[in-house]
């Protein structure tokens, strides 16, 4: 396996300006932060990789070493055995270098500069999200609303990737910026397309914002088109950052992770206080009709007919997606201006505590989920999100896989009609190969069982 | 055929600053300039079109109308029945708008602001080229050498286009800028690739320079990635602009037009006063080996073994092309610094009169070409360039086609060995479908005959 | 006399970009241009000097040498025995360096790039003025109207200079830019004050435009605050540049030269086609009341009561001048927007030929002036301007002084009442020491005689 | 007394980006911060005032009201009965507006964003100083060393003010930036001069940094040339900010406050670990010879002959001051580059605790000062600084005046020779009217008594 043996990397200018106390914390007193940074750094250097198994990546690069070299003027990094794709003719690609120091910036800010206790309090989650984004210069005053959040799978067929690129192109031609989870697939396609659209419109400051978090970054290495990378401390703050930054959301087809995101979003949008606050478009190439039918059937069955008000579905016609999104974004602008709301951060959106507190997928927690259609839709959406969060864990996360190995499949209880619909959606995801298989496996082995 | 019925376009700011006399000349006294502008404008609006038959394009858009509306503050343009691909949601794409006014800028500069007589004198051709480029802000002081001129066919197979994109990506990753003839195929691929490379390197001011001329622009509509468009007054000044701006030249496979360019270039490079003045790389995907073998055989047979010093051939490995070109460009920089030569314009290059004077492909002129290997190589290269220039005309240009229709194929005389080698190359171009066929034709009908 | 022995000066970047033909013309074929440049260069280097006798300056620096050294990359200047105040610690002050190359830029543009015949035609004067200003980047699109032209004497008492500074400060606080003849006294005070006002308003791109011409530059060395210097080819184009750029004019007290400017201006403003086209404010410290009374008496006596509509007089209260000018400038903006007129150049102003053609002050020309109040005011103003132009020449210009020495005082004929009023004004100027005395003279010896 | 009745002021953009928690703290929960801001705001609006009696200013504007109006998008300020000199034509001067929000920025940063306990620990003072300067964007990477700190009196004779302007002009011509305490007199002169020098050198980003603190800002209202204002939380951090930012220090004549600063500085410079770390120039017009003689006599008598190594004295010749300072600043650059030290913040300077801890001027503290020449010079300098700090308090600060009223003059003990020299210096300050007199007083009444 080819590796880049040794590199010295100087910080992008602003990171030069660390106080002595900050350098000291990073290099000596806080070994935990250093480990965190080392893991994120490896993921960043592993840019554009199609490998999404974090364990495997860490194993491949077990000899990757990182040193923070304190200097009188600031610090620099020394790397050993780094992934070679981060370099051209022996020099690190500038975009990657910026990602590296963006990551360091966020770790220093979150864990050293901010009084860390301040964000342990849940009531403070929104302020913490805002402060991290502000420190990263992602929220900016006086910028018109033009942030389109794009969600969808990272391991998708070529035609879906091409479609995502076309949508991105249509968005870029209309001057819109892109926010994604910063990996490949539906996270990269829109950015790549938008870059071309921006070029044709002579837009030089197009924004391709990637929001990641330490737990997922290794499976979703930031692609190098991302020109603003932010590392949020956990998945809940990452999701909250997406929805508070968004002026519109496009959702491309994906697997259980994408369904989790959809349920998170609808739990917010169906909250009575959040009427019409954020437009959502489901989009995919023509051959994704079945996918969206099944998805919609599940949403309607669980959340009621009312859910239909909160999204529209567009099949094919990427330019029409661009046109539609531009229009709803303009409506957002008019609305926020009228209500004197900030363009750069959607403070008004009510996000309930259950969406801000991490869900731990033990068998007990999974079994006690309350999956009944009598719940108000936004609460049921939140419960269902937890169920899918557990499925994601049981499929791909270390903790969940281990739980399933020890105790067998998770048991899901609730209203039969609801559970059947959920199962039907999951089987389609399997059929369409949107579920990750373990190494050497031919068929998907479910990590859940529906209990009547 | 869908057309954009009516549009009003305001000038990019600097074009606002026209004197009253200039507006008057453009709108009233110089109808010839207006016609010239109308034709170029149509070609520009027809962006990214794969149609290369100018006559057909002009016929399709015979109802295209253009009005220059003088205003107290400057002027604006009114368009009727324009090609629709220049617009998004009813607004002209910014890149296209800039092309439109760049074209107007160059016509005004060349034909109104410059005393037109000043460049009829041939000795003045170089100064004229320089002045037009300076007025277009293409030559700039204090920019390090990084202009890579890319030549090659516009109608090329998909794999050659993809290869050209990969080469462009490798160039962009290395911070190099691209100059091409601004159409599609090998003219667009390198720009598109470089744009992605630049994005990853966070280069925001990457340059994608397209140099065209009124006689060719309709067959080679500028692609919308071009962010600096220049219209030179004729093909000779266009070619001179390429070589004086270049810090390196990459030549992808093409047809007789590309061969004409190669001969033009080698006539300059083999001039005794121009030793080692400009590095040249032939590049193509692996399956182009035969093409380059045949080309090289022809060059060596006609210009001697010495020609080999002036280029290198790289098959496949686009990244290696990038690496190589970066290296030779750095050598250029060192050389020019050492010799105190300008980086932005290669004044030192000797270009002889025969390369600056247009060649008119009558049968008499073709028959009197002196194709003998005893000539010094740079003179023979110039003679051969004229021969290929005639072939291009006989194939695709109105004047040449008419000559051949009236008088039969051109007759080429000279050393048999040389002519046979030339014929062999031409047959390969036919075989590889690099020669334009007339409408409805199945086989290429040669417009020349070799006379022993 | 201390001099700076030897300096090499590199051009500000854009001047690097000279074509070979341009360098050739400047250094070899056009000795006249070189002499012109040498004289202007000396005046520029003699910055902030209070000496206004050109002959004396040229004598002091008879050993000043200037060489244009052509280089492959452009040119550079070599200076010998230059005025030392242009340098700090051995390096030329950047502002002076920019003046030097601005001067070269204008000479090259006017005399080499523009076909020189094009502006010999008088009808073309306005276009020529525009083209020179455009080439100097003085006219700019999309800048709101904020150019205040300030006229007045260069040799003025300290309290008038301080007042001019205060007015400049009041203008700068209101974001207005300053245009003057670029020398000292009333030409420098407003700029210096405005610079401070701009600093307090955090305006970083304040404009201090100096417009000079070769015949006057040595007597009015540009002050170093000027950050845009333009050299017009003659005094008539200089005056036209002022009025076409102005959004308001402030006139401080001065001598016969200032009266000439006032008459030039009122000849334009009282032209029937130019109604209300340019606001004018006379301003001076409180103790200038007599000056303005006498001036007004003369204007009313000669041009009629109607002249009062075209100006207002403000004594003292510099802040009120600033307030007033800001207001009339806003009116100008509203007016030009309403009439769709350009902000950057007042094309609409009618300037008659007699104001564009130079007046040669021979005795015959002076004697044949037609100074009668029956003339339409704008024509009489033009005649009177010529009379004052002659007086300026008879006082300070080589040609006029010589004429008076040979033929005695100029004889002025016309309506006695008018001439008496004129004489009264002139005597006040003498009394207030606003007339230049010859070396060693104690009293002013008039160069004119009024003939009944 | 004229006042500006009512104004609404919008924040400079970055202050828009406050989190909800921050706005809440400022407007509701932290009344102390609001009071602090109100007092600073009044001082800022009272720009360029020559009044230096804080109590009087607060009395004059007892009806000044300030409201922070929280808004969905950020906040804005509402002002009632503000000092009128902060406005032009009803709009606040931009420079003042920036000061207002800079002050708010620093209060929010220091007291809300930074965990406040973090800087109560004295060992942390340096980090705190750095963090506040970094947050204010005063420390910047990659800027060459060019910060000249200027100290001296605020109530000085006209000729000393003009001299300070000339020195500033000489510094500005050499591209140097100015840092002062941001009031008038020797704090304003260098900035005003430098602004003119920068203008001539076409330096558009000249820096005029004012560093103040809440306890002094009312007596030293920031002048409007200051384009970067920082409010440090106390006088010790203010002094530390000066010396860690400085690349050279110029000290103009002043009163006891200036002597306190000199002793603070020499306590640092004579510390054995700080050899040659910061160049110091005493400068004043020719007629200040006696002042500097007496000052030097005192310094040598108390700190020994070795003190002479740490400064030079220049009388008159402002340009020579500029030349000298440019030179020592270049030496600083060379030194820091060689030692790989940061340019932007002098981390290496050892500042002992006694200089970081506030000195409270009770009679007991004053009496127990240990003023003996046997102490190592840097310790004696620190003791003497405390003595002068007490004198400043006894003269002008509320606490000190009260102490003296109750307990009589402070009693100073120590080596007689040393105390006599100190007394001699103080009498010169009295004679030269550099000591503040109480209202209605004719003679200075000493607040100290020397005890043998």
For the stretch A318-371, pLDDT in tens is 999 999 999 999 999 999 989 888 899 999 999 999 999 888 999 999 999 989
CB nearest to D72's CB, from A72, A130, A347: A347
Q: Cβ D224–C200 below 8 Å, yes or no?
A: yes
Give the integer Cα–Cα distance in Å for A218 and A42. Answer: 8
**Is C150 part of a structural domain of the chain?**
yes
Residue that terminates a domain, selected from C339, C372, C397: C339
- pLDDT band of residue A303 (cuts 50, 70, 90) is very high
Last residue of some domain: B316, B339, B362? B339
Contacts of D74 in chain A (CB under 8 A): 141, 342
Using the predicted structure, report yes or no on whether residue C441 has a pLDDT greater than 80. Answer: no
Q: Is residue C368 part of a domain?
A: yes
Residues B101 and B148 placed together within one structural domain of the fold: no
Q: If you measure CA to CA, which chain B residue comes closest to C139?
A: B17
Partner-chain contact B73 C341, CB within 8 Å: yes
Using pLDDT thresholds of 50, 70 and 90, give the confidence band for residue D139.
Answer: very high
Q: Supply the mean pLDDT for chain A.
A: 90
A165 and A309 share one domain: yes
Q: What pLDDT does residue C121 have?
A: 41
pLDDT interval class at D117 (50, 70, 90):
very low
pLDDT at A440: 66
Contact A94 B205 (CB under 8 A): no
From CA C448, how far away is CA C403, in angstroms rounded? Answer: 11
8 Å CB contact between D214 and D193: no
- Check whether D74 has a pLDDT greater than 80: no
Q: Is residue C130 part of a domain?
A: no
DSSP D291-337: HHHHHHHHHHHHH-GGGGGG-EEEES-HHHHHHHHHHHHHHHHHHHH
Interface contact B95-A201, CB threshold 8 A: yes
**Same domain, yes or no, for B312 and B183?**
yes
Instruction: Choose among C153, C148, C152: nearest CA to C173.
Output: C148
Residue B330 has pLDDT above 90, yes or no: yes
Q: Do chains B and C touch (3 or more CB pairs under 8 A)?
A: yes
**Residue A165 clears pLDDT 60, i.e. is over it:** yes
Residues of A in Cβ contact (< 8 Å) with B204: 204-205
Q: Which residues of C touch B21 (CB under 8 A)?
A: 124, 127
Report residue A77 as tokens: 């990094």
B82 found inside a domain: yes
**pLDDT band at residue A69 under the 50/70/90 scheme:** confident
- Phi first, then psi: give them for residue B25, nearest 5 degrees: -60, -45
Domain boundaries, position B295: 141-339
* Nearest CB partner across the interface for B141, out of C17, C131, C140: C17
Q: Per-residue confidence at C112, pLDDT binned at 50, 70, 90?
A: confident
Q: What are phi and psi of B314, to 5 degrees?
A: -125, 125
The confidence band for A123, taking pLDDT boundaries of 50, 70 and 90, is: low
Q: Which residues of A touch B (CB under 8 A)?
A: 88-89, 93-96, 98, 173-174, 192, 195-196, 199-205, 224-225, 227, 323, 326
Query: How far off is chain D from C181, nearest CA to CA, in Å?
Result: 17
Q: Would you call D88 and C174 a contact, using CB atoms and an 8 Å cutoff?
A: yes
Give the best residue of D10, D18, D19 to mutate against chain A (max A CB count within 10 A): D19
Mean pLDDT of the residues in chain C: 90
Domain-embedded: residue D230:
yes
Are the beta carbons of C13 and B142 separated by less than 8 Å?
A: yes
Closest CB to C115 among B14, B115, B131: B115
Same domain, A381 and A308: no
Is residue C65 pLDDT above 50, yes or no? yes
The Cα of D1 is separated from the nearest Cα of chain C by a number of Å equal to 19
**Which two structure tokens, joined as six digits, stand for A239?**
């999701």
A17 and D124 within 8 Å at the Cβ level: the answer is no
Indicate the pairing of strand A177-180 with strand A147-151: parallel
Paired with C313 in beta bridges are C282
Terminal-residue alpha carbon distance, chain C: 51
Residue D49: the pLDDT is 78
Count of A-B CB contacts under 8 Å: 60
CB contact under 8 A, C124 and B21: yes
Q: Of C374 and C142, which is predicted with more confidence?
A: C374
Greater confidence, B125 or D373? B125
Model confidence pLDDT, tens digit, residues C240-292: 999 999 999 999 999 999 999 999 999 999 999 998 789 999 999 999 999 99
Which candidate, D8, D90, D100, places its Cα nearest to that of C174?
D90
The mean pLDDT value of chain D amounts to 90
Q: Which of D16, D20, D140 sits opposite A127 (nearest CB)?
A: D20
Q: What is the pLDDT of residue D119?
A: 38
Query: Which band of pLDDT confidence, cut at 50, 70 and 90, is reported for residue C50?
Result: confident
Integer angstrom CA distances of residue D410 from C138, D357, D452: 66, 21, 13
D134·A17 Cβ contact <8 A: yes
For position B80, what pLDDT does the model report? Answer: 97
Nearest-CA distance A237 → chain B (Å): 27
**Residue (of B241, B203, B181, B210) closest to B98 by Cα position:** B210
Task: Answer whether residue C152 shows pLDDT above 60.
Answer: yes
Chain C CB contacts of D93 below 8 Å? 173, 200-201
For B342, which of C14, C72, C127 is closest by C-beta distance? C72
Instruction: Kindly state whether residues B329 and B388 are assigned to the same domain.
Output: no
* pLDDT greater than 90 at residue D436: no
Residue partners of A53: CB distance under 8 A and separation at least 6 = A219
Listed in sequence order, the residues at least 6 apart from B306 whose beta carbon sits closer than 8 Å to its beta carbon are B270, B377
Residues D404 and D269 placed together within one structural domain of the fold: no
Which candidate from D95, D173, D323 shows the least CB-CB separation from C93?
D173
Query: Per-residue pLDDT for C85 more than 90?
Result: yes
pLDDT at residue B43 is higher than 70: yes
CA nearest A204 in B: which residue? B204
Are B246 and B147 contacting, i.e. CB atoms less than 8 angstroms apart? yes
Q: Which residues of A touch B93 (CB under 8 A)?
A: 173, 200-201
Question: Which residues does C contribute to its contact with D (CB < 8 Å)?
Answer: 88-89, 93-96, 98, 173-174, 192, 195-196, 199-205, 224-225, 227, 323, 326
What local confidence, expressed as pLDDT, does residue A116 receive? 47
Q: Is residue A130 part of a domain?
A: no
From the list B93, B96, B173, the residue facing A88 with the nearest CB is B173
State pLDDT tens for residues D250-302: 999 999 999 999 999 999 999 999 987 899 999 999 999 999 999 999 999 99
Burial of B30 (0-12, 13-18, 19+ CB in 10 A): middle
User: Is residue C121 a part of any domain in this protein?
Assistant: no
Is the same domain home to D286 and D402?
no
Q: Are B414 and B434 in contact (CB under 8 A)?
A: no
**Given an 8 Å threshold on Cβ–Cβ distance, is C195 in contact with D200?**
no
Does residue C442 register a pLDDT over 80? no
- Provide, as residue numbers in chain C, all residues whose Cβ is less than 8 Å from the Cβ of D224: 199-200
Mean pLDDT of A24-44: 87
Q: Are residues B335 and B397 in the same domain?
A: no
From chain D, the residues in CB contact with A141 under 8 A are 13-14, 16-17, 73-74
Mean pLDDT over C338-345 rounds to 90
Please report, for the domain that includes residue A266, its CATH number.
3.40.50.450
Are residues A72 and D341, on separate chains, in Cβ contact within 8 Å?
A: yes
Q: Name every residue whose Cβ is closer than 8 Å to that of residue B290 and which is 6 or more positions away in sequence.
A: B428
Residue A231 is predicted with a pLDDT of 96
CA distance B52 to D113: 63
Task: Give the residue from C250, C166, C241 showing the smallest Cα distance to C209.
Answer: C241
Q: C179 pLDDT exceeds 80?
A: yes
Cβ pair C72:B130 closer than 8 A = no
Q: Across the interface, which of B174, B201, B225 has its CB nearest the CB of A200?
A: B225
- Whether the predicted pLDDT of D122 surpasses 60: no
**Per-residue pLDDT tens for A192-226?**
999 999 999 999 999 999 999 988 888 888 998 99
Nearest residue of B to residue C113, measured between CA atoms: B114
pLDDT confidence band for A158 (50 / 70 / 90): very high
The structure tokens listed for B173 are 């990753």
Instruction: Examine the fold and report which residue of A339, A374, A400 is the final residue of a domain before the chain moves on.
Output: A339
Give me the phi and psi of A304, to 5 degrees please.
Answer: 90, 170
Inter-chain contact A20–D127, Cβ cutoff 8 Å? Answer: yes
The phi-psi region of residue D409 (left if phi > 0; otherwise alpha if psi is between -120 and 50; otherwise beta) is: beta
Whether residue D416 is contained in a domain is answered as yes
**Which pLDDT belongs to residue B14?**
66
Tell me what pLDDT residue A251 has. 98
Tokens of A20: 């002595």
User: Could you tell me if the ipTM is greater than 0.95?
Assistant: no
pLDDT at A13: 67
Chain D residues touching C204 at Cβ < 8 A:
204-205
More confident residue, C206 or A51: C206
Answer yes or no: do A203 and B88 touch at CB < 8 A. Answer: no
Q: So what's the pLDDT on residue B374?
A: 87
Does residue A106 share a domain with residue A255? Answer: no
Contact B88 A202 (CB under 8 A): no
Its pTM stands at 0.90
In contact, C68 and C77? CB cutoff 8 Å: yes
Looking at the partner chain, which of D17, D19, D140 has a beta carbon nearest the beta carbon of A141? D17
Distances (CA, A) of A154 to A9, A385, B46: 30, 19, 36
Backbone angles phi, psi at D312, to 5 degrees: -130, 155
CATH code of the domain covering residue D36: 3.30.1850.10
| Nearest neighbour of B88 by CB, restricted to A93, A173, A205 | A173
Min distance C348 CA to chain B CA atoms (Å): 9
Q: According to the model, what pLDDT value does residue B69 have? A: 86
Is residue A149 located within the same domain as residue A258? yes
Say what the pLDDT of residue D189 is: 96
Question: Could you tell me if B184 and B256 lie in one domain?
Answer: yes
Domain total for chain C? 3
What's the CA gap between A116 and B382, in Å, rounded?
Answer: 75
The pLDDT of residue A115 is above 70 = no
Of D174, D192, D204, Cβ closest to residue C89: D174
**Cβ-defined contacts of C428-432 (< 8 Å, 24+):** C428/C290, C428/C291, C428/C294, C429/C255, C429/C256, C429/C259, C432/C253, C432/C291
Most confident of A55-59, A240-244, D402-406: A240-244
The chain D residue lying nearest C93, using CA atoms, is D201
Name the closest residue on chain C to residue D320, using Cα atoms: C89
**Subunits that touch chain D (at least 3 Cβ pairs < 8 angstroms)?**
A, C
Please indicate, yes or no, whether residues A98 and A146 belong to a single structural domain of this protein: no
pLDDT of the residue at B401 = 86
Measured distance CA(B224)–CA(B210) in Å, rounded: 10
């Amino acid at each position: 396996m080819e590796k880049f043996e040794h590199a010295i990397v100087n910080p992008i200018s602003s990171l030069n300006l660390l106080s002595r106390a900050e350098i000291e914390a990073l290099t000596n007193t806080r070994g935990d932060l250093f480990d965190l940074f080392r893991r994120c750094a490896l993921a960043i250097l592993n840019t554009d990789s199609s490998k999404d198994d974090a364990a495997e990546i860490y194993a491949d690069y077990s000899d990757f070493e990182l040193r923070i070299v304190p200097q009188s003027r600031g610090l620099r990094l020394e790397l050993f055995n780094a992934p070679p794709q981060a370099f051209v003719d022996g020099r690190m690609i500038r975009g990657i270098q910026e990602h590296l120091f963006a990551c360091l910036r966020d770790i220093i800010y979150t864990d050293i500069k901010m009084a860390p206790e301040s964000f342990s309090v849940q009531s403070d989650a929104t302020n913490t999200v805002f402060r991290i984004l502000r420190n990263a210069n992602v929220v900016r005053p006086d910028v018109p609303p033009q942030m389109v959040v794009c969600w969808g799978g990272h391991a998708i067929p070529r035609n879906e990737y091409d479609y995502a690129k076309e949508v991105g192109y249509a968005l870029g031609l209309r001057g819109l910026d892109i926010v994604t989870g910063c990996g490949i697939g539906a996270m990269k396609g829109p950015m790549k397309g938008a870059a071309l659209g921006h070029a044709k419109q002579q837009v030089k400051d197009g924004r391709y914002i990637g929001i990641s978090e330490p737990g997922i970054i290794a499976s979703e290495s930031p692609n190098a088109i991302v020109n603003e990378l932010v590392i949020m401390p956990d998945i809940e703050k990452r999701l909250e950052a997406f929805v508070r930054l968004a002026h519109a959301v496009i959702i491309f087809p994906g697997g259980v992770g994408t369904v989790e995101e959809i349920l998170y979003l609808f739990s917010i949008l169906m909250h009575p206080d959040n009427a019409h606050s954020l437009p959502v478009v489901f989009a995919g190439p023509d051959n994704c009709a079945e996918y969206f039918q099944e998805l919609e059937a599940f949403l309607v069955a669980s959340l009621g007919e009312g859910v239909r008000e909160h999204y529209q579905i567009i099949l094919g016609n990427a330019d029409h997606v661009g046109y539609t999104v531009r229009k709803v974004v303009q409506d957002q602008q008019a609305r926020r201006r009228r209500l004197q709301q900030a363009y750069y951060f959607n403070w008004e959106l009510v996000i309930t505590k259950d969406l801000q507190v991490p869900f731990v997928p033990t068998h007990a927690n999974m079994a006690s989920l309350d999956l009944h259609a009598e719940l108000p839709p936004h609460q049921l959406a939140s419960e269902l999100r937890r169920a899918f969060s557990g499925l994601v864990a049981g499929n791909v996360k270390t903790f969940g896989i281990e739980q399933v190995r020890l105790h067998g499949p998770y048991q899901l209880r609730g209203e039969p009609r609801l559970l059947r619909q959920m199962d039907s959606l999951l089987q389609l995801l399997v059929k369409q190969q949107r579920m990750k298989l373990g190494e050497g496996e031919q068929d998907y082995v479910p990590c859940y069982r529906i209990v009547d």
